Structure 1
Amino acid sequence: MLLPVIMAGGTGSRLWPLSRELYPKQFICLHGQHSMLQETVMRLSGVEAQSPVVICNEEHRFLVAEQLRQIKKLSHNIILEPVGRNTAPAIALAALNAIEHDEDPILLVLAADHIIDDKKTFHAAIERAIAFAEEGSLVTFGIVPAGPETGYGYIHRGESVSGQQASPYKVQRFVEKPDLKTAEGYINSGEYYWNSGMFMFRAKRYLQELEKFRPDILEACKRAMANVKAGGDFISIDKADFNLCPDESVDYAVMEKTADAIVVPLDAGWSDVGSWSALWEVNEKDDSGNSLKGDTFVHNSKNCYINTDDQLVAAIGVEDLVIVNTKDAVLVAKRDQVQDVKRVVEFLKAECRTEYRKHRETYWPWGRADLVVQAERFNVNRITVKPGEAFDLQMHYHRTEHWVILSGTAKVTILDKTILLTENQSTFIPIGSVHTLENPGKIPLELLEIQSGSYLGDDDIIEIKEQFGRS
């Protein structure tokens, strides 16, 4: 049976301001009714496969767990990378972990941030690939190109494996992103596919080829897995050992070197959603070519992409624009210049601003917090705590906190005193007081938190007792 391995790392900076380091595009609903990670998992419905293994960054662990829980796919199946080391080591971690629980499963390696509209054709390509993976081939899925795209790498196919139409082909070579003239030559030849970054092979077979071509990566991964910490839904990799692992993609480490690579053509409405213009292309549009999401008004405008998650956006007399509005940032760009969004992210990093890394609204294992007001000596957060969840037991050296309950019931402990608060009631937490808050009810708890003091940074949260296993 197949074991899907879903790669959910990465920051998706090309889709700023919606995608940010702490909440990248794979966890956002950009196409369809669910997040891209959830869509990737649900796309496998109808394929005979085990529950997926998801590989993600440690700081995204609770996002992944919550999104898998929502679709009932959470089952001790999240591998946490303490540092990013690209796809070759990530797949090695999944293969090593799989072999511990299965003799030698076939791994179906997928990215969490791709769109595939034709699920039936996708499933047929998977079925076609299984027989070759069982025989020891390392399969990659090549996207039938829709045009001379310069933003993708290409796969040059060789001879047919079976001589039949739509048969897999031997991989002749992988090529880097070409210029336009070269890409046009690739398309005209009919022998090239876009490199999708999706693969299928047996776990042991992949490790054999990795040992042949990059034994240093395999050894580093084995050491990291030897000190693995498993708890709850997470498999935590040893940071010290994994930090020494080389950074390398599976393409460079294995697929370009192996003599057993084959490519299965795939024409299923695929997109890696690498830019706002790509997202405009795949989403539904009105009669004027506008793709609209959220509270919008357009007049005499065409071929625009507008996405707002908060305020009304009105566009009048404009064409070919991308307008993205979040609670703390607005992007306006020509649709043919969205590749320069990365310059905004570079500017924010250089200026030590937080908008490249996190949204005004942040997500936690217990719920979420929306920073409504931020000033020099006070912050105001609107906090939502899920039923049955609680803050870690904590204290602060530099700030006081005032909690006002908006709806629901709060169980508040300050020092050795515990009280219940309901709508319109409040409490005050002095500096240095050990405290926690719990939602004992059946509905979400909403409250305003007013922080006041000389220093309001997150590192003034001194955890006394952890509720969620954070390190």
Structure 2
Amino acid sequence: MLTPVIMAGGSGSRLWPLSRQLHPKQFLPLTGEGSMLQETLKRLAPLAHRSPLLICNEEHRFLVAEQVRQQGITDARILLEPEGRNTAPAIALAALQAMEAEPEALLLVLAADHLIRDVAQFHASVSHARRLAEQGQLVTFGVVPTHAETGYGYIQRGAGQGDFGFKVRRFVEKPDRVTAEDYLATGDYYWNSGMFLFSARRYLEELERFQPAMVKACRAALAGASEDLDFTRLDAEAFQACPADSIDYAVMERTEHASVVPLDAGWSDIGSWSALWEVSERDAQGNACHGDVMLHDSHNLLVHADHRLVATVGVEDLVVVETKDAVLVARKDRVQEVKQIVARLKAEGRSEQANHREVYRPWGVYDSIDQGNRYQVKCITVKPGAKLSVQMHHHRAEHWVVVSGTAKVTIGEKTQLVSENESTYIPIGQVHALENPGKIPLELIEVQSGAYLGEDDIVRFNDRYGRS
């Protein structure tokens, strides 16, 4: 039985302003009703498989857990990397953990942020790859190219293996335009998808041959791991000693057991706004629109409006993306340069690089709807049964007004229920807590006032989600 391993890290900076550091593209509904991660999980449904194993970083852990829960999956395992060390160590950790439950585990390694339109064809390729993996091959999926793409690495196929697979002749880096056209003409090259199927044992054997220090560090990181709610926390010191490398460089380019199975299933990594335009439904003028959009004499646009009307007149080949706190306008052939805007935002310490105006927490979400000198107004939504940490602030007071639902409010030694259209006040320095004891979401307006209103003015005394 397959063990799905889903790589859910990454920042998706090229899809800013929708994708942000703390809410990147894998958690966004870019191509379907669910997020990219949720679509990846749904894609597994017809396959016979064990509970999925997800790998992410610390700052995304609650997003991963919540989106997995929304899919009705209760037995997923979530590994938290203390820091990113690239794909080879991450997959090694998954292999080690999978073998604890099944010594001969077969790993289906997937990215959380890929689009696959033809799910039936994807399942067929997985079936072909599985046969090779059971014979000891390390199988990668090579996407059948549809055009001369310069943004992907390529895999050249060698001799045939079975009815559907090939030996890997070589991996090649992203080519220039002329070279990419030559690859397309030969028919021997595939796009490197970064998806794999192999025996956990065989992968670790090959990694041990080429990178023994990596395997040693991963074993130590798991041996010192601790369980925290839905998460497995690795031993940080042991993992930081691990060499960083991709699976391609560490194993696939060096092993004698690399095979490739073609994948012709409408694949895309949605790596840029232009890539999203290419896979989106478009009107007769070539425009792909989302939200409240009005166009006049406009052609080949991608327009994404989240919260207000966006109108265009007499323009073409543009990307226009509107969110609550930022607007992007870019030429479609230069959208790769969006990451330079993200780098500048980060260098200037601006919050738009990391967070949306809406910020997700394990207990719910808050939206900073207004702020000024010495005040800030938030709309806070608390999930049923959820509770914010027991906390206090040195520099701000808070006034809570309940809009819908019922709040259980603790201020000092006093606990009370606050219902719709009622309010309460928390003075500076007062220990307090907020909980939703009801069956429906609790929505309230929070008005903060004080000399300093930063999120780091929170002293937590107790937190059910393990935050310090």
Q: Which residue of 1 aligns with 2:18?
A: 18
Letter in 1 for 2:198: F
Aligned to 2:440, what secondary structure does the other structure show? Answer: coil
User: What is the Cα deviation at residue 376 of structure 1?
Assistant: 3.5
The separation in 2 between residues aligned to 1:270 and 1:76, in whole angstroms, is 25
Q: Which residue of 1 aligns with 2:275?
A: 278
1:425 and 2:437 equivalent? no
The separation in 2 between residues aligned to 1:98 and 1:353, in whole angstroms, is 40
Q: What's the TM-score once normalised by structure 1's chain length? A: 0.98
Equivalent residue runs for 1:274-423 within 5 Å: 274-423=271-420
Q: Identify the match of residue 186 of structure 1 among 180, 183, 187.
A: 183
Q: Identify the match of residue 459 of structure 1 among 452, 456, 459.
A: 456
The separation in 1 between residues aligned to 2:58 and 2:280, in whole angstroms, is 31
Give yes or no for contact 2:321–2:328 (8 Å, CA) kept in 1. yes
The separation in 2 between residues aligned to 1:74 and 1:318, in whole angstroms, is 48
The separation in 2 between residues aligned to 1:368 and 1:359, in whole angstroms, is 11
Matched residue count? 468
* RMSD of equivalent CA atoms: 1.0
Cα shift readout 1:378-406 (whole Å, capped 9, x = no counterpart): 21111001111110111111111111111
Range moving further from structure 2, 4-13 or 213-222: 213-222
Q: Identify the match of residue 227 of structure 1 among 211, 224, 236.
A: 224
1:59 and 2:56 equivalent? no
Aligned to 1:142, what secondary structure does the other structure show? Answer: strand
Letter in 1 for 2:125: A
The separation in 2 between residues aligned to 1:351 and 1:232, in whole angstroms, is 35
The separation in 1 between residues aligned to 2:74 and 2:458, in whole angstroms, is 29
Aligned to 1:216, what secondary structure does the other structure show? Answer: helix
Letter in 1 for 2:173: E
The separation in 1 between residues aligned to 2:32 and 2:388, in whole angstroms, is 33
Q: Which residue of 2 aligns with 1:87?
A: 87
Equivalent residue runs for 1:258-273 within 5 Å: 258-273=255-270
Letter in 2 for 1:6: I
Cα shift readout 1:253-286 (whole Å, capped 9, x = no counterpart): 1101000000001110000000000000101112
Cα shift readout 1:440-466 (whole Å, capped 9, x = no counterpart): 111111111111111212121111001
Aligned to 2:352, what secondary structure does the other structure show? Answer: coil
User: What is the Cα deviation at residue 116 of structure 1?
Assistant: 0.4
User: What is the Cα deviation at residue 76 of structure 1?
Assistant: 4.5
Aligned to 1:355, what secondary structure does the other structure show? Answer: helix
User: What is the Cα deviation at residue 93 of structure 1?
Assistant: 0.8
1:205 and 2:224 equivalent? no
Q: Which residue of 2 aligns with 1:77?
A: 77
Letter in 1 for 2:408: K
Aligned to 1:33, what secondary structure does the other structure show? Answer: coil
Aligned to 2:384, what secondary structure does the other structure show? Answer: coil
The separation in 1 between residues aligned to 2:410 and 2:99, in whole angstroms, is 46
Give yes or no for contact 1:76–1:235 (8 Å, CA) kept in 2. no
What runs of 5+ residues in structure 1 fail to find an aligned partner? none
Cα shift readout 1:266-318 (whole Å, capped 9, x = no counterpart): 11000000000000010111222111111111122121111121111111222
Q: Which residue of 2 aligns with 1:42?
A: 42
Aligned to 2:294, what secondary structure does the other structure show? Answer: strand
Letter in 2 for 1:41: L
Range moving further from structure 2, 399-408 or 115-124: 399-408
Give yes or no for contact 1:129–1:139 (8 Å, CA) kept in 2. yes
Aligned to 2:408, what secondary structure does the other structure show? Answer: strand
Range moving further from structure 2, 315-324 or 8-17: 315-324
The separation in 1 between residues aligned to 2:372 and 2:346, in whole angstroms, is 21
The separation in 2 between residues aligned to 1:336 and 1:219, in whole angstroms, is 45
The separation in 1 between residues aligned to 2:453 and 2:210, in whole angstroms, is 50
Equivalent residue runs for 1:51-200 within 5 Å: 51-162=51-162, 164=163, 167-200=164-197
Q: What's the TM-score once normalised by structure 2's chain length? A: 0.98
Give yes or no for contact 2:51–2:76 (8 Å, CA) kept in 1. no
Give yes or no for contact 2:369–2:377 (8 Å, CA) kept in 1. yes
Range moving further from structure 2, 452-461 or 135-144: 452-461
Range moving further from structure 2, 149-158 or 300-309: 300-309
Letter in 2 for 1:131: R
Equivalent residue runs for 1:436-455 within 5 Å: 436-455=433-452
Aligned to 2:425, what secondary structure does the other structure show? Answer: strand
Letter in 1 for 2:394: Y
1:241 and 2:243 equivalent? no
The separation in 1 between residues aligned to 2:335 and 2:79, in whole angstroms, is 33
Letter in 2 for 1:201: F
The separation in 2 between residues aligned to 1:385 and 1:142, in whole angstroms, is 44
Letter in 2 for 1:72: G
User: What is the Cα deviation at residue 343 of structure 1?
Assistant: 1.2
Aligned to 2:125, what secondary structure does the other structure show? Answer: helix
User: What is the Cα deviation at residue 216 of structure 1?
Assistant: 1.3
The separation in 1 between residues aligned to 2:98 and 2:204, in whole angstroms, is 12
Aligned to 1:217, what secondary structure does the other structure show? Answer: helix
Letter in 1 for 2:254: K
Q: Which residue of 2 aligns with 1:28?
A: 28
The separation in 1 between residues aligned to 2:292 and 2:233, in whole angstroms, is 41
User: What is the Cα deviation at residue 226 of structure 1?
Assistant: 0.7
The separation in 1 between residues aligned to 2:336 and 2:76, in whole angstroms, is 38
The separation in 2 between residues aligned to 1:109 and 1:400, in whole angstroms, is 48
The separation in 1 between residues aligned to 2:420 and 2:310, in whole angstroms, is 33
Give yes or no for contact 1:76–1:232 (8 Å, CA) kept in 2. no
Give yes or no for contact 2:68–2:76 (8 Å, CA) kept in 1. no
Range moving further from structure 2, 375-384 or 145-154: 375-384
The separation in 1 between residues aligned to 2:237 and 2:394, in whole angstroms, is 31
User: What is the Cα deviation at residue 45 of structure 1?
Assistant: 1.7
Aligned to 2:456, what secondary structure does the other structure show? Answer: helix
User: What is the Cα deviation at residue 74 of structure 1?
Assistant: 3.2
